[in-house]
Amino acid sequence: MAEERNYTIIVQRERVEVSREVYYAYHKAREAERYQNRVIRQIEMSLERFQEEGVNTEYRVVRSAPGIEEEMIRAEDNRRLYQALEELNVEERLLIDALFFSGITEGELAARLGVTQQAVSKRKKRLLRKLREKIE
């Protein structure tokens, strides 16, 4: 008999048990963030090269860099989103994962579920409205 696997993520330095869907969604988001950080490091290296060549980039960097307030707002928004996602039932989480993280189209998901694309679209709209209400 196969053992049931426990899925955990680290939240504020504590392990929290989560569903399989949340676990995979969380790690996909982390991978996306790591990718963005790699891109940022590459951009920073390009900026350093410009500075070595005497090009003044300070003004542009300061104007385009997000402020601490924006970062804190983004972090709070992410926290509320994760909390709202945890409150969803398994079917809703699977729909979110399929459409937003796995790259499955509404039509493909409809075929897998044996429903129309329109039905999947309506479920998605209801689910997004539900998430917005939980977040706001």
Q: What is the pLDDT of residue 35?
A: 82
Indicate the domain borders of the chain. 7-135
CATH number of 7-135: 1.10.10.10
Helix 68-86 to helix 117-135 angle (10° resolution) is 120
Average pLDDT over the chain, rounded to whole?
81
Provide the pLDDT confidence category of residue 114 given band limits of 50, 70 and 90: very high
* Alpha helices (H) along 53-116: 58-64, 68-86, 90-96, 106-113
Q: Give residue for tokens 């075929």.
A: 111
Provide the pLDDT confidence category of residue 117 given band limits of 50, 70 and 90: very high
Give residue-wise pLDDT tens across range 14-69.
888 888 888 888 888 888 888 887 777 677 666 566 666 665 555 555 555 567 77
Q: What is the pLDDT of residue 45?
A: 60
Provide the pLDDT confidence category of residue 2 given band limits of 50, 70 and 90: low
pTM beyond 0.85, yes or no: no
Tokens of 14: 């504590």
Give residue-wise pLDDT tens across range 57-90.
555 555 555 677 777 888 888 888 888 888 889 8
Give residue-wise pLDDT tens across range 92-105.
988 888 888 888 89
